[in-house]
Structures are given as structure tokens and as C-alpha cells.
Structure 1
Amino acid sequence: MTGPSRHRSIAEQTVEQLGGRASILARQRADHERLARLMERVRATEAGGGREHAAALRALARLVFTHAFAEEAVLFPAARRALPEGDPLTLAIEEDHQEVDELVARLDRSSPTDPGHAALLRRTLSVLDQDVRTEEDELLPRLQQVLTRRRLQVLGLQWELVRRVSPTRAHPVVSRRPPGQTLSALPLTVLDRVRDNLQRLDELTGGRLTAAVSALDRVLSGASGAVERLPLLQRGERRETSR
């Protein structure tokens, strides 16, 4: 087993104590550190708004949603199998994920100059902070007590592989649990990443293609919405996170 004591936050431990860099614990903490830096970037660009703030929000969303999707596909099922309290613990985090999905979807439809944008942003960042603390102080230390170093490293590899091919945008209607969550991965990942590449193209061309990119983005967004609402992709959803 790894970890010197019960429920010691993974934020307070060395990489070696977490099971090495390949461990799910070390990978999670590294992603949380990247998240903290992106949240600071979002805060720093909020007043100025414009393209810089929009780019910061997109970078934050890409990290948040790939991270959360991989957790729900790999980490949380493992926690439910390994821990007697795994289901309520993961459900509480899934509820945070659901709220972030809904908040970011609303942020996507707003502008920094809109009334309420600042409050939406503050709430989003607050829920993300809460999510990190629950994972680092509660869920992950408990897993550390019951899983071997080797198992933590295998989970880390599985989580990383899924994270690299996960959706990058808010999809609040899709199930947060298998099988719906698993089945949604391929179509939503393809649609999200095509939209991401279109946005990068628009940025690289200095906005000269904005009209065409926006039109294509609306089509792809509509396709994503249709995919989200397929009954098959809502299977496995808990009442607490169902929308």
C-alpha cells in the first residue's frame, strides 16, 4: 500500500508517497495544479475580456472536461468497487461535475459584459475548488489506503489514455456513469475536437474566417445536442445528476 496515514491529503505528500509519477494519485494532483494555474489566468483576464479571456476559458474547459470524463470512466468505477463508501463519495463529486457542466454551458452563451457573467464565473471557479478539495482530501486518500502501488499506476495509465480521447466541452445531458457515459465518448469527442480545431483556425487567421467558422460551429453544436439526447447515452444516470 502507499500512503503513511489514513485520509492524509494527497496535496501534502511527495510524488513517491503517491506511488510515483505514473500513479493515478500523482496524475490527478498534477492536473489539479494545472487547473489552479488556468483558473488564475481566467481571473486575470476577466476584466479585459476579449479574445484573451475567451481563450483562457476555452483552455480551462478543455482541461476540466477531459479530466472529469476520465474520472467518471476510470477512477470512479474503481472507487465504487474498492470502497464501501465509494458510491456516495463519487456521487457527490459527480454532482459537482454536473453543476460545472451547466455553469460552463451558460458561460458559453454569455459575454463578459453581460449582467450575471461575473457571478457565473465566480460560482464555476468555486465549484471547481470544492471538487479538487473533495478529491484530494477525501476520495483519493481513501483509495490510497486500499489499493497497491501497482494498481494505482495501472489506474493512472488507464485514466491518462481516456483523458487524451475525451470530450472537451460541456455536455450536461449525457449520463455521468456507464454505459451511457462510455458510449458518448466517441461521437462527442470527434464533434468537440473538430469545433476546437475550427476555433484555432479562426484565431490563427486573425478572425478573417469568423463568419464561416461560427456557421460551422452552430451546425456542430446542434449535432452535439442531438447526440446528447439519444436515450442510449442517458443510460446509467443517477437521479441526482439527471437533466
Structure 2
Amino acid sequence: MGHGGNVIQELTTDHREVEEIFGRIEALPPGSQERKNLCDQATIELVRHSVAEEAYLYPAVRRHLTGGDALADKELEDHAKAEQIMKDLEGCQADDPRFDSLMAQLMSEIRSHVTDEEQNLFPQLEAACPPDALMDLGDKVRRAKKMAPTRPHPSAPDTPPANKLLAPGAGLVDRMRDALTGRGKESQG
């Protein structure tokens, strides 16, 4: 998930990639192990994306937008809800009776969040921020996603500076766990 461009282009491309994964999940039959594999893949991408937004996008929203504190706080609440659902999903197998319900909740939460960001927050940020600042934020977001955790950590701090200090360590531990278990590989087969 490193695409180039300014912060809005980077994050919008992330949104499209996650939506593509959601579409693939919806096309598979309930109970399919591939649904769980894709859920893990979506979780990895969503956690990286969220960490980057929390570290760089939302502080910029607070700094540059009138009413930015309220906007950023609302987005952080959305992240907290989604992160808790992802944590619950992490403990489910594809044939768990809760899996489909949790997956539907996650997709609904993320789709609502994406719509809000793309139709409300991003246009305001684009109007308020100079182009070079948006490009700089894009670079910072790409770097943050490379170091970010790959598993949900609902109790971790979500605002700077604590989130910037803890995310790289959690990210390293998560990536090691993923490598050992094969989690997040598109197909286990």
C-alpha cells in the first residue's frame, strides 16, 4: 500500500484496495477459509492505513481546518469502532457463527468512514492545505504504513506523539508473528 502522490491520492487508493478485498469476500460462500484469509489481508491493510491517518492526517486536519478538532475526533471514533471489530474477527475462524456478522459490521463501518472522508474531510483538506504540504503528508503516510502494526491494538494510543513512538515496535512484533504464522498471505494453498 504505497502508491505515490499526495496524502489524499494515497489514502483514496488505499480505500479502493480495501473495497476490492471486501468485494472478493462478499463473492465467496459463507464458511470459506478464503474469506478468513481475505479478512486477515483486509485487517492488515486497514490497520496500516489507520495508523498512518492517526499519525499524520488527523493532526493536519486539526491544524488546517476550521472545526478540525471535532472532525478528527469523529474519525478517531470511527477507527476505534472498526479496530474493536477487527480484534473480534481476529479470534474467529471462517466457520465461526460470529464471523459473517462481524465481517458485515466491519464492511459497513469502513464504507461509511470512507464515504465521510472522501466526500467531506478530503475536499476540505485539499482546499485548506498547500499542494506541497499535501505531498509531504503523502510521503509521511507511506513511510508510516511501512512501519505500522498489522494487527488491531484497540487499547494503543491513537494520537501523537505516543502513537508515533509505539507503532514501529508493535509493527515489528506483528510482522514477525505474521511471518511465522503465514497470516495475511492471499492464499494458503
TM-score, reference length from structure 1: 0.71
How far, CA to CA, are the matches of 1:46 and 1:199 in structure 2? 24
Q: Is the 8 Å Cα contact of residues 65 and 170 (structure 1) preserved in structure 2?
A: yes
Paired residue type of 1:31: D
Structure-to-structure mapping, 1:49-64, within 5 angstroms = 49-50=32-33, 52-64=34-46
Paired residue type of 2:38: A
Offset, 1:54: 2.0
How far, CA to CA, are the matches of 1:29 and 1:59 in structure 2? 18
Instruction: Name the SS for the 2:28 alignment partner.
Output: helix
Residue 158 of structure 1 corresponds to 140
Structure-to-structure mapping, 1:118-133, within 5 angstroms = 118-133=100-115
Q: Is the 8 Å Cα contact of residues 46 and 112 (structure 1) preserved in structure 2?
A: no
- Tell me, yes or no, if structure 1 residue 103 matches structure 2 residue 51: no
Number of aligned residues: 183
How far, CA to CA, are the matches of 1:98 and 1:144 in structure 2? 25
How far, CA to CA, are the matches of 1:46 and 1:26 in structure 2? 33
Paired residue type of 2:149: P
* 1:91-146 deviation line (CA, Å, top 9, x unaligned): 11111111111111111112232233221111110000011011101111101111
Bigger Cα displacement from structure 2, 69-78 vs 21-30: 21-30
TM-score, reference length from structure 2: 0.90
Residue 25 of structure 1 corresponds to 8
Q: In 2 relative to 1, CA 155–170 (structure 1 residues): closer, same or farther, beyond 3 Å?
A: same
Higher relative contact order (CA 8 A, sep 6+): 2
Runs of 4+ in 1 over 2 A off after TM superposition: 111-117
Q: Percent identity?
A: 28
Structure 1 residue runs without a partner (length 5+): 1-20, 208-243
Q: Calculate the aligned-residue CA RMSD, in Å.
A: 1.7
Offset, 1:200: 2.2
Q: Rg: which structure is higher?
A: 1
How far, CA to CA, are the matches of 2:74 and 2:29 in structure 1? 29
Structure 2 residue runs without a partner (length 5+): none
Offset, 1:183: 1.9
